[in-house]
Structure 1
Amino acid sequence: MAVTIKDIAKQSGFGVGTVSRVLNGSPMVKNETRERVMQIARELNYRPNKVAKMLVTGRFSQSTIGIVLPKITHRFSMEIVSGIYTKLNEFGYNLLVFNIGKKREEVFEHIRYSHFSGLLVLLGPLREDEELMLKSENAHFVYLDYHDKNENSIFYNNHLGGGLAARYLIDKKCRNIMLVGDRAKTVQREERFRGFKDKLTEERIELFAEEYIEADEKAAYRLTKKVIKAGRADGIFFYSDDLALGGLRAKREMQSGIRIIGYDDIEAAGFLDLSTVRQNAHTLGKLGAQTIVEILKSEKSIHESRPVYKCLKPELIDRGS
């Protein structure tokens, strides 16, 4: 016999109205109440009635795509979201953003009981239990800027992009080359830097220095000033434009000839004439939105669908920095 909201209310000690608000994601509930109700729902293996759910929510969830973002976001990810919004708006879908922080489990519990049409997952992998939960609910999802050959994935080739950044500095006659990354160890960072180092090795150039700092423009500014004062490095590859913009500011303030290249080609990079490796975030977001909508329109179950796997090529943008 199916577990009902009344069963959860009886075991938790809360009223039916309170339990209903918790399961429908209402913010008008105390955290301790939410945690208790969700715990009982899990213990009883509660599955909401989808018909009743649609009557309560006005089918909002059924026309909504969710976006899952990591705890730390930067301008590149915001431009992806902008692309997603633009395309989903054309298709008539709603958009709801989930920022994963300390309450990751709570976020996925909300996703589980909300019955969204689909999810777009940015920059990083889901945990195994999260993937299994989504598949058990037949919830389609697409990774953006991350790849898994067994799952829907749309991403840029970071290894190739790292090689393009190295090629830029080599062509500018740099020989004491350093790279600067943020301290978050991600698949994107590892692939990008491996491509950069592979290209240097191919050209028989030894990496001069490697630094990892906070993902902060000011930290990059301070480091670059220190590097310029030391007077040895003649080229720097920054993991992202967010960092490179700090380095560019230091370069110009100190009137240095050091070469700088970033990665992403965020909007500000064009305004400030920063050389970079372009991976068009807006295009990536629009492509992700179009892909999830096409998957949903196919009406195939998650087990019948063949994974979409698209690898996009980045592009070198030389602005002379």
Structure 2
Amino acid sequence: MGGILATGLADVTSDLGALESRGWWAVVVTYEGKVTCARFDRVGPGAHPGGRWVAPGEWDTSLDEAAYVRGVQRIRDAIAEGIVYQANLCRVMSAPMGRGADMAGLGLRLSERHPAPYAMTLRVPGLEVASASPELYLARDGDVVESRPIKGTGRTEDDLLPKDRAENVMIVDLVRNDVGRVAEAGSVTVPELCAVERHPGLVHLVSTVRARTAPGKGWPELLEATFPPGSVTGAPKSSALDLLDELEPVPRGPYCGAIGWVDADSRRGALAVGIRTFWAEEGLLRFGTGAGITWGSEPAREWRETELKAARLLEVAAGDGGAGQDLAERGAARS
């Protein structure tokens, strides 16, 4: 992660309180709340480990285009009824793992061909993840915490619509409220609102929320107050979670959860939102993609946004070197 190589696995726990103890921890929290904290003894600068990577088989998706479009319309109906203002509808794609494939090999390919500010490759017993996340869920430096939610995606800045800015502002309000539950009164600020960030193959609108934690509030309290990340759920969060549980047929797993590191000794850390993320499960390589739905959403356009977000990452995993290839041509739109 970020030029840091951690080896010498010393401990694995599901207790978030361990992040307030000692040592350097890799952290994965699934969208459903399963916690993995892995402490390593040897941590320092290092090159990404190599590994054999074999392209996966053909991709299936938990929601095909017709089902996804119906889901978008259901969310728009819920907005009209006043149940939610916004919800992030996601689908999980799966393909058979290539025989002899090593997740470290995929992580290395991602680091070389799709660099991302919060990229991470993790391999511990029972969990293998390769992420190229561009989105900061929570960073902590002592008592100062920061979140940088992403909402609004296009191939270029000209593709961004008023709907994208409205969506971003709604989620910023949600994140401010979440962080405010564990922050000193009056310390929550928004230093940057709807800034344009460029990433491989697309652009995003990104905002920054910053605060100072109240005394006695650490990682367990921060996650309890803010998880799952607001940018991948919706607003109001509780209503959006209920609606998404109705519409999404499979668990999201590490996708849309939290992926990152914590140095308990220095009270520093950074957890990314688990987007642009692959993980291995039951002989399958899985990958999630989604889009934020508002009243202004056009269902077919939202489906295309999920394809745009996935396309370059699946090309890296396939090893074909293509760019801009429509996912339907790869069979990824089949249920």
User: TM exceeds 0.5?
Assistant: no
- Tell which has more relative contact order, 1 or 2 (C-alpha 8 A, sep 6+): 2
User: Which protein is bigger by CA-based radius of gyration?
Assistant: 1
TM-score band (shorter)?
A: under 0.3
TM-score scaled by length of structure 2:
0.26
Select the structure that is richer in strand.
2
TM-score scaled by length of structure 1:
0.27
Select the structure that is richer in helix.
1
